[in-house]
Structure 1
Amino acid sequence: MSITTRSPHDTLLATALRKARWRILPLICTLYFIAYLDRNNVGFAREPMSSDLGLTATAFGLGAGLFFVGYTLFEIPSNAGMHRFGARRWISRILIPWGLLAMATAFVVDDVSFAWIRFLLGIAEAGFFPAVVFYFTLWFPVRERAAVLGVFVLAQPLANMLGAPLSGALLTLDGLLGLHGWQWMYLVEGLPAVLFGLAVPFLLTDRPANARWLTAAERGALETSIASDDARITSHSILTFRAALLNRTAWAYAGLNFGMVLGIYGLAFWLPSIVGELGDFPAFERSLVVAIPYAAGACFVLWWSRRADRTGKRAAHASLSLGLAALGLLGAGYSLDVSPIIALASLSLAAIGIYTAIGPMLSMSASLFSGAAAAAGIGLVGAVGNIGGFVSPITVGWLTDLTGSSLAGLLFLAAALAVTAIAAWLFAGRRPEGDTTLARPTKESHT
């Protein structure tokens, strides 16, 4: 029987990665949990807010979606700031104003003020997600990124799963100190972003070279591994920030992200309303039912992301997940009036598909470039993708007003995810960032 032993480099690398995961991921995941809660809790407040402020479904969808207009407009400049000033200062800069604006949502008075505060919240939070994705490229080799991003995006279903009963409980505080329950929800859930914004400069480390909690040998092993993976997978024909913004491959991944984000936020913003069609639930009980699909999604995120890293077939994993999500939404649309149990099971399949797709999908675009080009490319992919966060809720809201049912909106989301699944398979599956078993050609095109 042969016994394999690790080289000293592999041992140092394993130790450095273990320390980096435990030092970085818990904090970053907590911040993303807060971010996702603050951007999506509007879905839980929809009915009481709409009743108190006189919002139609279309007006609500417009306000909810304007978050992503502000986010999109400032995402690329924000990632440039992250590259220039470092993670500690820039993420803190993002957190504090976003927390204050999230709390200020408690004091909107009509559709206009609601739209403006959501737009400003998007500007404040702009760049947080791509900044974190770029930050991970500085700390983790390509071969680790789908799994690391899987841990990170696990905060999405967890925020919805745990945020649903939390938001439901806060909505029951109606009348306390003269405030509506939805006002308490925004105030309580926005405060942690401000507090963490004050703490982040003392908790994050910008790059491995600055990490005093790693030994010199561990820093060297980690930096060598990142450089080696970049040389094999990452394109070095694109070197500048501007060149990455004009790169056709980056735009292709931006389009794929747009399709995926349509499904993510279509489900997130409208799931509470869809569950309302399954039965007449009080607010808190409804929030517990809403949590079920997110709990199902959370169960599979890490396993699927690690499998994508282990096999290298990231495009295939993303495509299969998006196809499953499309089938789930299709099943939910046609079973809403037939069986609440089948509809809830279908929504759970949709959540599993949507959330397991994120890690493999984003690991591909995060592996395109390095340095300033990576900051630009990741920002571009995120910016275009987040346009889907605007298109999705307003389209679903308009279709709901038009038809009086969630069916048309669910069919729209299912079609978008199905097209994205096929496109990801055909495009990314033939590229080294989509299939890491493929070697990047020595001579690359400058497309």
Structure 2
Amino acid sequence: MNTVLENIVKKTSWRLIPFMLALYVLAFLDRSNIGFAKNAYQLDTGLSNEAFALGAGIFFAAYAFLGVPANLLMRKFGARTWIGVTTLIWGALSAGMAYADTEWKFLVVRVLLGAAEAGFFPGMIYLTSQWFPQQKRAGIMGLFYMGAPLALAFGSPLSGALLEMHGFMGHPGWYWMFLIEGLVAIIAGVVTFAYLDNSPQEARFLEQSEKDALLAQLNSEESVKMTSHISDAVSNARVWHLSIIYMIIQISVYGLIFFLPTQVAALIGTTVGFKASCVVAIPWIAALFGTYYIPRYSDRTGERKKVAAGTLLLAGIGIGVSAFAPPVIAIIALCFAAIGFIAVQPVFWTMPTNILSGAALAAGIGFVNMFGAFGGFLAPIIRVHAETFFNNNTAGLLTLAIITVIGSLAILMLQEQTKQIEEKKEVESV
């Protein structure tokens, strides 16, 4: 990549990535903060473990089915309008969790929150593909993906501190946690309308010559991709394979995240509050470093699938060790787990953007993300059922570890499949 284009990418990164990162921090915090409220919320509302697991996962039901149409709508209406509206709605619903004091309210709000967030994450992935050259994309998405560990590292103490507001003005701590974090998202939605540009063509921060150079690079990459038709994205065998892998990754992620505060609290012998939330932050701080360096290594070497497989395998080992290790070793293992299942994702997302373009890319990202949403839905259910079936609290973690290792093997199978496809093309060209 030439120096001029390098400078354009840096300029675009400084403009977009901090803002995208901030939005992702809020989105991830709003979808996962029920993990911090779990014990107090269940105690106050009478919610059973099964109902909590269903509510934690049901978010992903609406999220799954609306991902594809949401991405196509963003392509039609533009990133500024779509992301802005999406953020406003999910912020209002997240704040509405403060008033979900019965089981049916809890389930309804979680479904609506999933529907509202359906367009955000796949929209961000698609937006990245529209602004950044392929060679830089894993590192760029690595910066964006740092939103998840940032939300959990710094949002954990925030959520824990808000839970300490229990009794303020007659409301429980979880009321204030949901309300305040939701209101912050609403403010972010308003800012989006003023800050975000729809595309490089409309970029207010780039000179015309910079726009032309960036668009020329992006268009040259689009011209060599396999397909740009929406129907081809769904019928492509590699897209299905990637979808299953991503579902496994999300089972690993959310099978741990929703229960991590209570798991760590049990390890250190305390209740979920500010102290436990500070310890919970440790694995996510470790994940920040992994999410920064691993995608950059992938960009530098050009190796995607081996890096992704090894990183996900690290997550599986970390989850498994945390199930039976003593507290200090368990926390270290959770650090490796967090590094693995967060850092693998920006590397993973370079794969569909390598083979699809245009409307097919928008639909394909939504389709892969839909399977990931199913993984998020299944994750807490799988963990709770494994613990109930084996009557053992470690069974859920060991089940997640096995599933994660299978995902790593599935990535290696994709590597073999890709090699066979390339060999077939060489034969056909002869």
Q: TM-score, normalised by structure 2?
A: 0.95
Cα distance per residue 1:250-305 (max 9 Å; x no partner)? 11111110011111111111111211221322411111111111111111111100
Structure 1 residues 272 and 429, CA gap change in structure 2 (3 angstroms): farther
Q: Is the 8 A contact 2:84 2:193 kept in 1?
A: yes
Q: Distance in 2 between matches of 1:442 and 1:104?
A: 57
1:264 alignment partner, one of 253, 278, 290: 253
1:343 alignment partner, one of 330, 354, 358: 330
Once the 2 structures are TM-superposed, how far is the Cα of residue 402 of structure 1 from its aligned partner? 4.5
Once the 2 structures are TM-superposed, how far is the Cα of residue 47 of structure 1 from its aligned partner? 0.4
Q: Distance in 2 between matches of 1:135 and 1:167?
A: 29
Residue of structure 2 equivalent to 1:76: 68
2:397 alignment partner, one of 402, 405, 410: 410
Q: Is the 8 A contact 2:386 2:399 kept in 1?
A: no
Residue of structure 2 equivalent to 1:354: 341
Structure 1 residues 12 and 273, CA gap change in structure 2 (3 angstroms): same
Structure 1 position 299 matched with structure 2 position 289? yes
Once the 2 structures are TM-superposed, how far is the Cα of residue 440 of structure 1 from its aligned partner? 10
Structure 1 position 134 matched with structure 2 position 126? yes
Structure 1 position 23 matched with structure 2 position 15? yes
1:275 alignment partner, one of 260, 264, 269: 264
Residue of structure 1 equivalent to 2:299: 309
Structure 1 position 330 matched with structure 2 position 309? no
Residue of structure 1 equivalent to 2:217: 225
Residue of structure 2 equivalent to 1:399: 386
Q: Distance in 2 between matches of 1:222 and 1:444?
A: 33
Once the 2 structures are TM-superposed, how far is the Cα of residue 326 of structure 1 from its aligned partner? 0.6
Once the 2 structures are TM-superposed, how far is the Cα of residue 444 of structure 1 from its aligned partner? 9.4
Once the 2 structures are TM-superposed, how far is the Cα of residue 109 of structure 1 from its aligned partner? 1.9
Structure 1 position 47 matched with structure 2 position 39? yes
2:157 alignment partner, one of 138, 152, 165: 165
Q: Distance in 2 between matches of 1:185 and 1:441?
A: 55
Structure 1 residues 440 and 358, CA gap change in structure 2 (3 angstroms): farther
Q: TM-score, normalised by structure 1?
A: 0.92
Once the 2 structures are TM-superposed, how far is the Cα of residue 78 of structure 1 from its aligned partner? 0.4
Q: Name the aligned partner's letter for residue 381 of structure 2.
A: I
Q: Name the aligned partner's letter for residue 312 of structure 1.
A: G
Structure 1 residues 128 and 443, CA gap change in structure 2 (3 angstroms): farther
Q: Is the 8 A contact 1:72 1:387 kept in 2?
A: yes
Any stretches of 5+ residues in structure 1 without a counterpart? 1-8
Once the 2 structures are TM-superposed, how far is the Cα of residue 385 of structure 1 from its aligned partner? 1.1
Once the 2 structures are TM-superposed, how far is the Cα of residue 199 of structure 1 from its aligned partner? 1.7
Residue of structure 1 equivalent to 2:311: 321
Structure with the higher helix share, 1 or 2: 2
SS across alignment from 2:228: coil
Q: Name the aligned partner's letter for residue 287 of structure 1.
A: S
Any stretches of 5+ residues in structure 2 without a counterpart? none
CA RMSD of aligned residues (A): 2.1
Cα distance per residue 1:340-385 (max 9 Å; x no partner)? 1111111111111111111111111222211101000000000111
2:372 alignment partner, one of 381, 385, 405: 385
Q: Is the 8 A contact 1:57 1:398 kept in 2?
A: no
Q: Distance in 2 between matches of 1:109 and 1:187?
A: 13
Cα distance per residue 1:389-426 (max 9 Å; x no partner)? 00001221233344554311111111111011011012
